[in-house]
Each structure stands twice: as C-alpha cells, then as structure tokens.
Amino acid sequence: MRLIAAIVVLTLVAIGAGALAGLHLFATAERVADAKKSATPPPLASSYAGSARLRKLSPIVTNLAAPANNWARIEASMVTESMSDEDAGILAAHISEDIVTYLRSASVAQFEGSRGLQHLRDDLTERAAIRSSGKVRELIIETLVIQ
C-alpha cells in the first residue's frame, strides 16, 4: 500500500512540476513574440542610388547561330540613371538591337549551365553600358527560353 501511495504522490509532483514548467515556457514565448512584433527590422541596403530606375525591355525573339533551327526568347530589364522617357525608349531600342545581334552570333552551347548564363548576363551588361556611355548600370535577365 505504501508503494502505491508513493507512486501517486510522485505522479502528482511530476504533474505539478510539468504544469509549472509549461506555464513558464508559455509566458516566455509570449514575451519573445511581443518583443519581435514591436522590433523594427533593419533597413535593407540598396546598391543603387535614389536616381536609379528599372526599365523593362520588350521581349526579344531571334534565332541562334548554331544550330540554325534553335530560337531564343529573352525578357530583360535595365537599371538606368535618371533620364527622360523618350531617351530611355530610344536607348532601350538600341540595346534590344545589340541583344539580337549578340544572340544571332551565339550557339546553344554558350548558354549551358549557370556559368553560361552568367557569361551571357555579363556580356549583355557590358554591351549595354558601352552603348549607353555608362548610363545603364546593369542588365537584368528575367527569362531566357531556348527552343
């Protein structure tokens, strides 16, 4: 009988200790959640100045040099300095022509893998910067489909 009483007492003590520990953990979790809600996130640092503007180029579809039956469709945007909409439209048309010229002289093997895509992005960004006399900071490739 003493053994059963000891087990019952130990069980009640364990239930009480578990309940107190649970209440303490619950209160701590609520304090942490409230602190996270009231904390303001740090501002994100931008690599572009306030005058930078993202301008979308019209989609470009052209055939590739090798093999001749492959086609490429590219959608891109350019990050430019502040300029008028008319100048930006003219610049976008010239850059689109440069992209078509580049893609027509390229083969499918040049775009394979992540390195190929990175080289394409770097080459197109360099061509856009040269064409714009440094007004285009970056050319962002949004989609590239080769069929």
Integer Cα distance of 80 and 137 in angstroms: 6
Question: H-helix or E-strand containing 70?
Answer: none
Residue 139: pLDDT band (50, 70, 90) is very high
What are phi and psi for residue 54, nearest 5 degrees?
-95, 125
Identify whether the C-beta of residue 137 lies closer than 8 Å to the C-beta of residue 80. yes
* pLDDT, tens digit, 9 for 90 and up, residues 5-16: 999 999 999 999
pLDDT of residue 90: 93
The DSSP symbol for 107 reads B
Integer Cα distance of 110 and 42 in angstroms: 41
pTM of the full predicted structure?
Answer: 0.66
The DSSP symbol for 110 reads G
pLDDT of residue 66: 82
Query: In DSSP terms, which residues pair with 54 in a beta bridge?
Result: 79
Integer Cα distance of 103 and 112 in angstroms: 14
Integer Cα distance of 11 and 144 in angstroms: 66
* pLDDT, tens digit, 9 for 90 and up, residues 36-70: 888 777 776 666 767 788 899 999 999 998 887 89
Residue 143: pLDDT band (50, 70, 90) is very high
Q: Is 128 left (phi over 0), alpha (psi -120 to 50) or beta?
A: alpha
* pLDDT, tens digit, 9 for 90 and up, residues 77-125: 999 988 888 999 999 999 999 999 999 999 999 988 999 999 999 999 9
pLDDT of residue 46: 65
